[in-house]
Chain A
Amino acid sequence: MPIINDTIFFDEKAHGEALEKALKMSPHEVVLEIRESQLRGRGGAGFPTGTKWMLALSAQADKKFVVCNADEGEPGTFKDRVLLSEYTKLVLEGMVIAGYAIQAQKGFIYLRGEYAYLLEHLLNYLDRMRKENRLGENILGTNYSFDIEIRLGSGAYVCGEETALIESLEGHRGEARNRPPYPVNTGYLGYPTIVNNVETFACAYIVISKGAQWFAKYGTEKSKGMKLISVSGDCKKPGVYEVPFGIKIKELLELVGAEDTKAVQIGGASGLCIPMSEIERNISFEDVPTGGSVIIFNKSRNMLQVLRNFMEFFVEESCGQCTPCRVGNKKLLEGVEMLEKGICTHHYLNELIELGKTMQIASKCGLGQSSPNPFISIVTNFKDEIMSNYLGSGNGQ
């Protein structure tokens, strides 16, 4: 099992009974506590959780829903898997707390298809919670009732995007919806819905258990608490690490025993590729954000191949709905192929970078908006390497 170094947050035994505590508070107080902790969504986008819950709490509707985004599909991320299997209580009771906070009656876990082997464990755990009256009717003797259902995804990356996830939950093709309206207002079946990452629910549990102020002691000014990082690639000790926000990339590399490093991809396929000249930067929403994926490349790696791998991923995983993402990623991939053949001019490369910038602002959802990130950061940071095949100037053209 991956090691979590210096566990501070994610130690089930070290925490009190957050659920009991939350149910003694009013829903409004729970939301305020979360807001005070300045907890931000752990899926990568970093939307303030307290604000999201407040919007959902104040939305008027006869039904509300809580959705746990366990579609963990970002390449290089595997920390939710650990939380779901080893720290089940934090996640599931975190969901009940969220449900109570926004006054929802039902929760869903959208579990990625590849995690089907976790299903039995989770179902058993839910049963246990029901037997212990921590789930179901009149939880712990209060008036509050809430239940959780597990739905399996079918392997589409885009279903990690919250509105596509909701579409998929409803039984439709997984594609992003228009926003506004936002899910907190018009979500699952049109009802107010909060979609949070697995880790966010676990953090919410910790906030309630230990208090907002304790939580906010960790991290940076705008990124509070600890973060789970899945480290993979060229290093001696890959695995899941718990680190405080604000940790320098350099420190992380030392921690995991990375040597001869050339670049670090932070934030998965849709993240940024950081060259060694920038490893003094830190992991936080202010600087280099991540949903948890850190992939390390050493000097033996060909950055063009790395890029090609990412672009092939996006060409296949775009939902195919909006033009910039559907066709744009293909054009970027074709650009990579031209770079490999040495027939991509500097001029055309600049055109493609401009196209990438358009994709960042004109795509419909987060997938398309972030898909050009690796292209732009790799061709910018490793320009000499990726243009090394180019012969255009050599033959007088």
Chain B
Amino acid sequence: MDNKITKGRAPVSHQPHNVAKASGEIGGEVEIEINGRKYTVPFGTTILEACRMNNIHIPTLCYHEDLCLAGACRVCVVEVEGMKTLQASCAFPITSKIKIWTTSEKVRKARRHILDLLLSEHYGECYSCVRNNNCELQRLAKEYGVDFYRFGHITQPRYQVDRSSYAIVRDMDKCVLCRRCVRTCIDLQEVGVLEATRRGYSTLISTFMDRPMLDVICINCGQCINRCPTGALRAQDPSDEIWKAIDDPTKHVVIQTAPSIRASIGEEFGLPAGHSMTKQMITALRMMGFDRVFDTNFAADLTIMEEGTELLLRLKRKLLEGDKSVKLPQFTSCSPGWIKYIEHFYPDYLDYLSTCKSPQQMFGAVIKTFYAQEMGIDPANIVTVAVMPCTAKKFECNRPEMNASGYKDIDYGLTTRELAQMMKEAGLFLPELPKSEHFDEPFGDASGAGLIFGATGGVMEAALRTVYEIVTGREVPFNNLTITPCRGMDGVREASIVLTDVKDEWKFLEGVELKFMIAHGTANAKKVMEALIRGELEGYHFVEIMACPGGCIGGGGQPIPTSPEIRKKRAEAIYKEEAELPVRKSHENPSIKYIYEKFLVDGPCGKISHKLLHTHYTKRGKYIV
């Protein structure tokens, strides 16, 4: 299977390497001239890449590293000697000895005109915009010294803001039609909810038949938000309700923080990507007034116990008892974007999904039952907040089936960005806060296995550490518990571990090659599903899928901007922190042992956990949104 993140339906010509390929000169070099100076660049490099390699700044707007090329905004135009028109540097592959001018009079004038045109159509005041100070259009206006609207300016809104979705708000008045969201939705994620509609000046980014976001097959992954240069796409922000709950003395407000938050939230405070902020974050949350601060890593450990056990039960029923109704491979169910994706696109394959709720929802159910009992609090007065790297979690916590305890498992889903905003509002500058060593009891312990859930491959790695040990009584045969095939950023990865010298009770697994597969980004999930349908996953046992590129560290609720480099650094921060933790296997987490002793007394996949920690799925197809 092709391991690269696919570029879907994009026209071939929007991928400049095609030229190089066609010319068959890959690997060569070209000598070019930029602004009168000589440079040597690899054959087929775009002008923009060549300039960036050599620290020559070119402004961009529709260009995004993760996406296929559009060449639509024309902000990055440059002059190429001998060509009558200016060329979009992002889309122009260098295949001959060209001379380029990046700041000639023509270029400067054209860029300024293009900015003036964009600004004339952009309605909205910066100070009432969620992207104030992190807006690419605003930055360009500053860079080009825009101090008046040359071609006028829109003074009245023209579109209604679409707030219908649980996760994503669309405000077309702020849209600059760069089509990053379209390329994200169609080409990067292969979901295809957003597309350019109408023509000419009336062009608009829209959904199928202009339906509201709630009423289309959006999976709420929020990748479009992460790539929107302006505030046209943003998340539904529940922070006002959360403040209200904090301020209400009758409410016991509990927050849980997802594994990948700590690795990225520092970016919202100006730190470079890859700085973990776990301990300062605990302090900040306490100072903000949350009654308890819990670590979702605990719930991730709980998920591993449940999901790992479920896998072993499936293996047993299928391999030992020959039960043909059991579906293998088992697919993970932690990513709510992935769940909605499979419900819409492959509704006949839901039996392959693990029935486990995601860690967020498991934790919510535990808090409103076990925790409420232990603390003697009426669950009706507990407000559960989950800070997640994710916009799909906002939808997930509103799923009607997520209330097995009689109460909503999770009341509010908050993103990394929104939490950082709340911290700023509370006057807290995260990097300078004192460190707190521990999350709150009774879930104060979490293993490293739970932490690595934040990166693609992490769930698989965590599960293997536990499953292998349950079956063989030994640690996984990898140096320092690092299951290397699970790491990395290739779109689809696969590997296997042979089970030998197994314990007596698992004799039927002796010599079995446990085959697993990992995919991230729904475009890659699609590849895996198509392979499943073709019967090519016969013999595979376990598949991890995350809806977002890079897994949770690249989630739709994470700080903006995002890029392959940024996601790599966030993942590294998680793996670094994990390697230093005392407990690195879910089943060795003392808090986990405690909850199975005290509360989930019939063990993983027992009756109690089935009621509270497992769920079912909806065959949505095209119609049920």
- With A172-B11, A180-B95, A331-B120 already in contact, the answer to whether A320 and B198 are too (CB < 8 A) is yes
A4 at the interface (CB under 8 A from B): no
B121 at the interface (CB under 8 A from A): yes
Decide if A324 touches B113 in the complex (CB within 8 Å).
yes
- With A185-B22, A317-B199, A321-B72 already in contact, the answer to whether A178 and B91 are too (CB < 8 A) is yes
User: Which single member of B150, B179, B196, B200 contacts A329 (CB below 8 Å)?
Assistant: B200
Decide if B201 touches A327 in the complex (CB within 8 Å).
yes
B3 at the interface (CB under 8 A from A): no
Q: CA–CA, A167 to B74, complex, Å?
A: 20
Q: How far is the CB of A156 from chain B (nearest CB, A)?
A: 7
Kindly identify, within residues 71 to 110 of chain B, every residue whose CB is under 8 Å from any CB belonging to chain A: 71-75, 77, 84-86, 88, 91-93, 95, 106, 109-110
Kindly identify, within residues 174 to 193 of chain A, every residue whose CB is under 8 Å from any CB belonging to chain B: 177-181, 185-186, 189-190
A361 at the interface (CB under 8 A from B): yes
Interface centre among B12, B196, B200, by most A CB within 10 Å? B200
B14 at the interface (CB under 8 A from A): yes
Q: How far is the CB of B195 from chain A (nearest CB, A)?
A: 8
Nearest to A328 among chain B residues (CB) is B117
Q: How far is the CB of A381 from chain B (nearest CB, A)?
A: 22
User: Which single member of A178, A314, A362 contacts B13 (CB below 8 Å)?
Assistant: A178
Decide if A323 touches B77 in the complex (CB within 8 Å).
no
B202 at the interface (CB under 8 A from A): yes
Which of chain B's residues have a CB closer than 8 A to the CB of A360? 85
B19 at the interface (CB under 8 A from A): yes
A354 at the interface (CB under 8 A from B): yes
A226 at the interface (CB under 8 A from B): no
Decide if B110 touches A178 in the complex (CB within 8 Å).
no
Decide if B117 touches A362 in the complex (CB within 8 Å).
no
Kindly identify, within residues 211 to 270 of chain A, every residue whose CB is under 8 Å from any CB belonging to chain B: none
B114 at the interface (CB under 8 A from A): yes
Decide if A323 touches B201 in the complex (CB within 8 Å).
no
Decide if B199 touches A156 in the complex (CB within 8 Å).
yes
Nearest to A359 among chain B residues (CB) is B113
Nearest to A315 among chain B residues (CB) is B201
Residue count of chain A within 8 Å CB distance of chain B: 45
Which of chain A's residues have a CB closer than 8 A to the CB of B508? none
B135 at the interface (CB under 8 A from A): no
B390 at the interface (CB under 8 A from A): no
Which of chain B's residues have a CB closer than 8 A to the CB of A81? none
User: Which single member of B14, B77, B176, B201 contacts A318 (CB below 8 Å)?
Assistant: B201
B245 at the interface (CB under 8 A from A): no
Q: CA–CA, A354 to B12, complex, Å?
A: 34
Decide if B71 touches A178 in the complex (CB within 8 Å).
yes
Decide if B120 touches A358 in the complex (CB within 8 Å).
no
Nearest to A334 among chain B residues (CB) is B152
B177 at the interface (CB under 8 A from A): yes
Q: CA–CA, A173 to B91, complex, Å?
A: 19
Interface membership of chain A positions 355-377, coded 1 if the CB is closer than 8 angstroms to chain B and 0 otherwise: 10010111110000100000000
B69 at the interface (CB under 8 A from A): yes
Kindly identify, within residues 233 to 291 of chain B, every residue whose CB is under 8 Å from any CB belonging to chain A: none
Interface membership of chain A positions 331-365, coded 1 if the CB is closer than 8 angstroms to chain B and 0 otherwise: 10010000000000000000100110010111110
Q: How far is the CB of A227 from chain B (nearest CB, A)?
A: 23
Q: How far is the CB of A40 from chain B (nearest CB, A)?
A: 16
A82 at the interface (CB under 8 A from B): no
B18 at the interface (CB under 8 A from A): yes
Q: How far is the CB of B113 from chain A (nearest CB, A)?
A: 4
Which of chain B's residues have a CB closer than 8 A to the CB of A329? 200-201
Nearest to A330 among chain B residues (CB) is B201
A322 at the interface (CB under 8 A from B): yes
Nearest to A318 among chain B residues (CB) is B200
Q: CA–CA, A188 to B584, complex, Å?
A: 53
Decide if A190 touches B12 in the complex (CB within 8 Å).
yes
A59 at the interface (CB under 8 A from B): yes
Decide if A317 touches B200 in the complex (CB within 8 Å).
yes
A316 at the interface (CB under 8 A from B): yes
A326 at the interface (CB under 8 A from B): yes
Which of chain A's residues have a CB closer than 8 A to the CB of B152? 331, 334
Decide if A322 touches B201 in the complex (CB within 8 Å).
no
Which of chain A's residues have a CB closer than 8 A to the CB of B118? 323, 327
Q: How far is the CB of B15 from chain A (nearest CB, A)?
A: 9
Q: CA–CA, A329 to B22, complex, Å?
A: 36
Decide if B199 touches A316 in the complex (CB within 8 Å).
yes
- With A181-B18, A181-B22 already in contact, the answer to whether A358 and B201 are too (CB < 8 A) is no
A163 at the interface (CB under 8 A from B): yes
Which of chain B's residues have a CB closer than 8 A to the CB of A331? 117, 120, 151-152
Q: CA–CA, A243 to B120, complex, Å?
A: 46
- With A318-B200, A318-B201, A320-B199 already in contact, the answer to whether A177 and B14 are too (CB < 8 A) is yes
- With A315-B201, A362-B74 already in contact, the answer to whether A180 and B93 are too (CB < 8 A) is yes
Nearest to A59 among chain B residues (CB) is B22
Decide if B113 touches A354 in the complex (CB within 8 Å).
yes
Q: CA–CA, A318 to B118, complex, Å?
A: 16
Decide if B199 touches A319 in the complex (CB within 8 Å).
yes
Decide if A327 touches B74 in the complex (CB within 8 Å).
no
Decide if B74 touches A324 in the complex (CB within 8 Å).
yes
Q: CA–CA, A190 to B17, complex, Å?
A: 12
Which of chain B's residues have a CB closer than 8 A to the CB of A322? 71-74
Q: CA–CA, A329 to B199, complex, Å?
A: 13
Decide if B121 touches A320 in the complex (CB within 8 Å).
no
Which of chain A's residues have a CB closer than 8 A to the CB of B72? 321-323, 364
Which of chain A's residues have a CB closer than 8 A to the CB of B70? 321
B325 at the interface (CB under 8 A from A): no
Q: CA–CA, A177 to B12, complex, Å?
A: 9
Nearest to B115 among chain A residues (CB) is A323
Q: How far is the CB of A1 from chain B (nearest CB, A)?
A: 33
B203 at the interface (CB under 8 A from A): yes
Q: CA–CA, A354 to B201, complex, Å?
A: 20
Decide if B110 touches A362 in the complex (CB within 8 Å).
yes
Q: CA–CA, A58 to B169, complex, Å?
A: 51
Interface membership of chain B positions 161-194, coded 1 if the CB is closer than 8 angstroms to chain A and 0 otherwise: 0000000000000001101000000000000000
- With A167-B11, A369-B85 already in contact, the answer to whether A320 and B201 are too (CB < 8 A) is yes
Decide if A178 touches B14 in the complex (CB within 8 Å).
yes
Decide if B13 touches A186 in the complex (CB within 8 Å).
yes
Q: CA–CA, A354 to B150, complex, Å?
A: 12
Decide if A361 touches B84 in the complex (CB within 8 Å).
yes
Q: CA–CA, A320 to B11, complex, Å?
A: 17
Which of chain B's residues have a CB closer than 8 A to the CB of A167? 11
Interface membership of chain A positions 17-61, coded 1 if the CB is closer than 8 angstroms to chain B and 0 otherwise: 000000000000000000000000000000000000000000110
Which of chain A's residues have a CB closer than 8 A to the CB of B92? 178, 180
Q: How far is the CB of B194 from chain A (nearest CB, A)?
A: 13
Which of chain A's residues have a CB closer than 8 A to the CB of B203? 319-321, 326
Q: CA–CA, A362 to B88, complex, Å?
A: 8
Interface membership of chain B positions 532-560, coded 1 if the CB is closer than 8 angstroms to chain A and 0 otherwise: 00000000000000000000000000000
Q: How far is the CB of A38 from chain B (nearest CB, A)?
A: 21
- With A163-B13, A190-B18, A331-B120 already in contact, the answer to whether A354 and B74 are too (CB < 8 A) is no
Decide if A323 touches B74 in the complex (CB within 8 Å).
yes
Decide if B114 touches A326 in the complex (CB within 8 Å).
no
User: Which single member of A181, A320, A354, A369 contacts B19 (CB below 8 Å)?
Assistant: A181
Q: CA–CA, A330 to B74, complex, Å?
A: 17
Q: CA–CA, A354 to B112, complex, Å?
A: 11
Known: A60-B24, A173-B196, A316-B202. 9 other contacts (CB 8 A): A173-B195, A178-B88, A180-B93, A318-B201, A319-B200, A320-B196, A326-B201, A358-B110, A360-B85
23 A-B pairs whose Cβ atoms sit less than 8 Å apart in the complex: A186-B18, A190-B18, A316-B201, A317-B199, A318-B199, A320-B196, A320-B200, A320-B201, A321-B72, A321-B179, A322-B71, A322-B73, A323-B74, A323-B176, A326-B203, A329-B200, A354-B113, A358-B114, A361-B84, A361-B106, A362-B74, A362-B110, A364-B72
Interface residues of A (CB under 8 A from B): 59-60, 156, 163, 167, 170, 172-173, 177-181, 185-186, 189-190, 314-324, 326-331, 334, 351, 354-355, 358, 360-364, 369
**9 closest residue pairs by CB, A with B:** A320-B203, A178-B91, A327-B117, A190-B12, A318-B200, A358-B113, A177-B13, A362-B110, A178-B71
